[in-house]
Structure formats: C-alpha cells, structure tokens
Structure 1
Amino acid sequence: MIVITAPTGTIGRLLVDDLLDRGERLRLVVRDASRLAPEVRARTEVVVGSHGDATVIDRACEGAEAVFWLAPDDGSAPSTEVAYVDFTRPAATAFARHGVRRVVAVTALGRGTPQADHAGPVTSSLAMCDLIASSGVALRAVACPSFMHNLLNHVRALKEQGMFFMMTDPDLKAPTVATRDIAATAARLLLDDSWDGSGQVACLGPEDLSPNDMARIISEVLGTEIGYRQITGAAFKERMTGFGMTDGMAQGMVDMFEAKNKGLDNAEPRTAESTTATTFRQWCEEVLKPAVTA
C-alpha cells in the first residue's frame, strides 16, 4: 500500500495516474474527495482530511509500505516553520508508529549551502526532511529548483502586459523543473524497494535558463514579444500580502528569492540522474501557451 498526500495537486495528480496505470494499491489523503476524478475514487482508498492532522495521518499510515509526502502551500500560516515543520510533526510520529518503510518527500535544493540557512520555505523544507528522517524511516528527498508551473501565476500579466515579473536577477541562469518530471521521479522511488537510509535525489530539468532566456523562449512560442522585469523584495512582499499571505510567509518568500539570487539553486552538480527530460520550450508549448490563449 502506497499513501499519497496532496493527490489533487499539480504533482500528486500526475503521480496518482502513473501509479494507478502500473496497478499499484493507493490510499489518498485529501481534504475534499469531490476533487478526485470518479475513476480515481473508484480505484483507490480515500482518507478525508488534512494530512497535517494527527488522527487523519495516523489512520492513513496503518499498513502502509511507503508514503509520498508533500507539505501544502499555506499562505495563511504564521511562518514557514509552521507550514512545513510543525505541519509534518504528526506524520513523523505516524511513520514511526506504523513502521512505514519508505517516504519520498518533495523539498528544495540548497542542502549544505550557506544560502539555505536563511531562505524561508527552503530552510523549513529541509528541516522538514530532517524531521522525517529522525523518525527512523528511510527517506528520499526529491530536491527541486523553481517549478516551470509557477509561471502559470503570470498568465494574466502575459496576456495584458506582455510581461512577467519576479525577484530573480534577469541574467541569472538557474535550473527549473516541470512538475511531470518531479512526479515521475517520485513514482520511480516509491516503486523501488532497494534503497534505505536518508538521501536526496535532485530534479534539475535539462538546462539552466535566466528570466531573459525564458522571456525569449516564451516570445517565440507565443509569437508575440514578451519581456521580463525584476521587482524588488518590498514590491514582491506587498503583492503577496495583498493576495492574503501572512507577513511571515511573505517575508519567507522574499528570503527564498534573495537566496536564489545568491546561487542557492546553482550549487547542485548536474548529473545524468538529476537532469530531467522536459525542456522549458516543450513545457511552454504544451502547458503555458494553451493557458495564455484560452
């Protein structure tokens, strides 16, 4: 039995489909079961509730061999530590109580770098993995840079202004990854019962690109000129709090991007294993362009 948390998210839903296609027995932990496709509900066990709730995650882990763990984005949390570490504490207890053998968790790049010491959600995500590992379960942390998927938050600006805006230095080349490749890596690890101990598997995409590189590729895919503008940390924080994010979480996001601008995502060596398949151009053609032209 494999437990999947956040099964309706951008990674989780792809992971669920992949594992079901392989005939795996799945137990899904979901707040709202109506968000699952009827054919998915019919082929899985469903535990309704938050996987941060001790009772819910304890019930979900009973008899489980492996767990896919993803702490949800929670802009209402007072801090990134609460959103990642405190949210995961009941799960770490449940993993140990029920003898779960393996956990695959999504985390960030940066372990062992000085930039990761003050990088908001990155710092807390790495601490979350340390907490899971301390439970005695075997852990593989799928360590990721920024997601290509995050550009979907800029669809309106692309349509109306022909621009997208981030804190990232315009010429800083860094890896980005498609969520489909994160899901594929997680599936591979969940199905492989040969590993133990605690370790990390990086997902770096196939190339390092700067925001200016991205703007050029988006322009070519959309057939219209797209520009990039770097915004200040203060402006970014104001935007996030304007969307309802708490001050603590918004400041954590600012800290993360400042750390990325100092090379947080560039320290991980690129290897054949860490180089995932989906190019940024392919993602733009298959995901971003349909969203912009819809």
Structure 2
Amino acid sequence: MKIVITGSIGNISQPLAKQLIAADHAVTIISSNPVKAAAIEALGASAAIGALEDTAFLTTAFSGADAVYTMTPPSFNTNDFIAYAVNIGNSYAQAIGAAGVKRVVNLSSIGAHLASGNGPIAGIHQSEKILNKIPGIGLTHVRAPFFYYNFLNNVEMVRHMGIIGNNYPADTRIVLVHPAEIAATVAEALQQPVEGVTVKYIYSDDRTAADIAATLGSAIGKADLPWVNFDDEGTKKALLDNGMSEDMAGRFVEIGQALRNGILWSEFDQHLPTAGKIKLEDFAKEFAAIYNS
C-alpha cells in the first residue's frame, strides 16, 4: 500500500511510519519543516514538505495514496483554535476528495462528541464533522484520551517546586494513553478497509491525579510528591505568561473544568475498549529518565 502520514516525525507519526515501513508499505510523511526531510528519509519514507492549510500541496501529496492518516497539530498561539482546526479540516477534506483517497484514519480525541465545554477538543469535534461529509471513503476516528507525555511538561515544576498539579483536584479521573499504542492502533486501522464512518476509542490506563503524582514521584525518589489543585485564574495567568494565546489559555483552563465535572468520559464509558498494555508505572520510567537527564 501507499500510505501518507501527517504529523511529521512526532511521538505518534514516527513509530507509526516505522511499523508501516516494516510491513513493506510505501510511506510518505508530511512535514511543514524542511529540516525534517533528512530524518524522514532516514526512516525509509519519502518526505513531502508543505503546509496542511495548502490544499493544492495536500492534493498532490495524497494523489495515488491507498490510505491517509490525518491529525490536527497543536497550535498554542492561535487566536481562534476552532477556526484553525476547521481550516485544516476543510483542507484535508478537499484534498482527500480531489486525490481520490478511499481510506482515512483520523486522530481525534475523547470528548470530541461534545461541541463545546471541552477546550480545544471543540475544534477536533468540528474537524470530525467536516471529514464525515466526504463521500465514498472509509473513515475511522481514533479517539484518544490524555497523553502520558503531557506530564513531561511538568518536569520543571516537579524539579524546582517539588509539586505537580493543574486546575483540577487530586481525586480527578484521568484516562491515559501512550503514543506508541496510538501508533499501533492507527497502523492496524490503515491496513484494514472499512465502509462509512467508524469511531474507535483507545486507552492505556485509567487513574486519578493523585495516582499520577504518587507514581511519578516514586519513580524519581519523591514518593510524597503532592498533587496541587491550582485555581482557574492562576492557571490561565501562568499559561499566558508562558506565551500561550488568550484563546488557547482559556481553552486549556476549560479542559481542566471538563475533567473536574467528568463530561469528557461520558461516551468513552459507553464504548469502553480493552485497555492497552503500557501502564502509568511504565511511563513513570520514561518520566524519570527525562527528570534525571
């Protein structure tokens, strides 16, 4: 098969590409950064350098493809994430239709069944709706929960403040996933034909914020590492101080609110999949390696 992957050589796309290449598929990886071309080619893939918003570029990149993996890259400085996600979704839809692609696997998110109240996931909800309208394709939305790797952003907080936390309390439920398990799920889906639109939920572990603090803390020799519940206002100010746009800072605060009230998990719980194999304790070793580096 000829398979096109978006997402450059990130935490999902790189292991995904390796799996597909090992299975003797011809893989093209799209990146907006020309510097990544050499690393892409070193994997054994072809590089296509351009912007996802450039529909003509995408159409050329998708031409002749048997399957395409789509995702919406994060954008922390956009002033309107919904418009950003819709723009990319429309570009994907037009290019997929023009190129005649018949199999699409789209990285989505738990909580994408909600149109609002779910932070930046509201943009992913809109992207799903756009892709759903493409006629004549087999489309799978892989709805992933909270990435383990998000906690790598807390390494400096743990190192310098001796705490970990966010704008939700220690007893908050957090469903987690490892990027490697997303990659494996996407790789399998790309190689399997489907008809119409399907949604696939995945996860690796289901814990609380307190569990996360205790497990990561134990891995770095800080078994009493506390989870601190920050208020919404302070959380937003910290995000703005770190360069995040007003729109995105507000949306990240809203994610915490959605975690507090549990609305993200409602549809996930109705379609509970089999848990993956990479547990919080496994990720804690990766966290410790970064912390101790």
Counterpart AA for 2:250? Q
Q: CA deviation at 1:272?
A: 7.4
Report which stretch shifted further, 159-168 or 178-187: 159-168
Corresponding residue SS for 1:77: coil
Q: Partner residue of 2:93?
A: 92
Displacement of 1:106 in angstroms is 1.2
Code of the aligned partner of 1:279: K
Task: Identify the range of structure 1 (123-132 vs 215-224) with the bigger mean alpha-carbon deviation.
Answer: 215-224
Q: Deviations over 1:187-232 (max 9, x none)?
A: 1101112x12111111121x32111111111122222232211112
**TM-score (norm. length: structure 1):** 0.92
**d(CA) in 2 for partners of 1:189, 1:52:** 25
* Amino acid of the structure 2 residue aligned with 1:237: K
CA RMSD of aligned residues (A): 1.9
Pairing partner for 1:218 from 216, 219, 229:
216
1:64 alignment partner in structure 2: 65
**What residue ranges of structure 2 are gaps of 5+ in the alignment?**
none
Letter in 1 for 2:255: M
Letter in 2 for 1:220: S
Q: 1:172 to 1:272 in 2, by over 3 A?
A: closer
Q: Kindly provide the CA deviation profile for residues 146-187 of structure 1, in whole angstroms up to 9, marking residues without a partner as x.
A: 111000001111112221121222101231111111111111
Aligned to 1:78: 79
The 1:37–1:272 alpha-carbon spacing in structure 2 relative to 1, beyond 3 Å, is farther
- State whether structure 2 residue 2 is matched by structure 1 residue 4: no
Tell me, which stretches of 5 or more residues in structure 1 are unaligned?
none
C-alpha distance in 1 between matches for 2:161 and 2:37: 35
Tell me what 1:238 maps to.
237
- The residue aligned with 1:182 is 182
When residues 170 and 111 of structure 1 are mapped into structure 2, their CA distance, relative to the original with a 3 A threshold, is same
Mapped partners of 2:288, 2:270: distance in 1: 28
Paired residues of 1:80 and 1:120 also in contact (CA < 8 A): no
Give the direction of change, closer, same or farther, for the CA distance of 1:191–1:143 in structure 2 (3 Å limit): same
1:281 alignment counterpart: 281
Counterparts of residues 256-275 of structure 1 (less than 5 Å): 256-267=255-266, 268-269=268-269, 273-275=273-275
Distance 1:130 1:271, change over 3 A: closer
Q: Give 1:138 deviation, angstroms.
A: 2.0
Shift in CA distance, 41/49, structure 1 to aligned 2, threshold 3 Å: farther
Show CA shifts across 1:98-135 (max 9, x none): 1111111111112445xx53222111102101101111
Which residue does 1:152 correspond to in 2? 152
3-state DSSP class of the match of 1:118?
coil
Q: 3-state DSSP class of the match of 1:269? A: helix
